[in-house]
Structure 1
Amino acid sequence: MTSAIVQSETPVTLIGGGALGPSDLETALALAPVLVAADGGADAALAAGRMPQAVIGDFDSLSARARAGIPADRLFPIREQESTDFDKALRSVAAPLVLAVGFLGDRVDHQLAAFNVLTRHAHRACILIGVHEVIFHAPRRLVLDMAAGQVVSLFPMGRVTGRSEGLEWPIDGLVLTPDGQIGTSNRALGPVTLETDGPGLLAILPRDRLEALIVALRPGS
């Protein structure tokens, strides 16, 4: 396992080189003030007038201009090609929470790879921020502050069972699998409690639930 390159007691914003909404970075930094870039995400950070504290990746998409503009002691190349830059960066950051921007949007293959990383690092509290939604790996138990009628989509990345309270269509008794029963387009009746019997379940919520989700993911919540 790669040792931590960045260690922070406060939440970290991780920026990638994918599609970035106009307010994504500032929204994340207001909640997670430490900025780390995954490879070409450093270009997006500099374009927004932000200097990352660290740049982590294989550097195949980091521009020469960005490389020249970032102090050498903030550049951390990881040359192996067996994992994505999101994976390299996430596993190299030790923080209570990571808010990831620039990993959703233009390319479906990049999004699928990001979901794969969330699943393989299920123990990490990491939230992908999209234009309209936030996506995260559900912990074993989660209590969400939701309003009636809000969408709660659940997508299994493996075989998952569990229980729920506060969903219009409970998951109790279901076996969720990527090639079988899934749980997208469910709706909250109010506050929602999710419990899973193991890893592998991704949850997708409206973006306006981001701050409530951060509270829910805090240890002891």
Structure 2
Amino acid sequence: MIIKQNTRIILSENRKNSYQNGKVLSKDSITYKRSPTEPTRHFGPLRLFREVTVAEQQSEKFIFDEAIQILILPIIGTVQVACGDDTYLVAVDESLIIHIPADTAISLVNNYKSSAIHYLVAGFVYDHPITGFSKFNLQPDKSISLFEYKNENGFLNIHIGKWRGRSSGTITPSSKHVFAFVIQGAIEMEDCLLQKADGLAMYGKEIINFEALSSEAIMIFLELNS
């Protein structure tokens, strides 16, 4: 972990890894219920940010002791999401956000018989329950909004983009807490070099500048209210 003023860099190699029965590999940039001194501790309302690989015919299960919003973004394959009586299928170039009440189980399932799935999952608190589904098509040098909501306490904006080498961009955050994660490639952001699976937690930034250092660099941003 590297700390700069109002930023926290969570390098890929510093994530908390868990390997369940040789079937589910999870790598946490933000880990639920970690000590406040841990590198992967909470960041404002962001309670969890995890990269997961699930083997064929296996699943990952969560139960949180507080009401939470869950974001699922598949990278490889289709994820079946089961929560109570509700079931969703989320494929590549799609994303799902759902509200999970406290002490309620949610399962992320791989129904394939011979191949693994790979996805990102984020968990964060938000004042109002949200359920939404988004389809997207990444275009060069453009950020695409997946979900955007506003209430009396601030904004929620989740967006993803792909940038070509040496192209640059600027974000004007709508919220104090911004978490950025590199899905592919390398990006320089706020004087920090970020490579694949590195995360950057930024607080109170009025403007965020970045530049892609590799072709087809892909990054997701979570702008979260306090």
Which TM class, normalised by the smaller chain length? 0.3 to 0.5
- Of Structure 1 and Structure 2, the greater strand share is in 2
Bigger share in helix:
1
TM-score with structure 2 length normalisation?
0.34
Greater radius of gyration (CA): 1
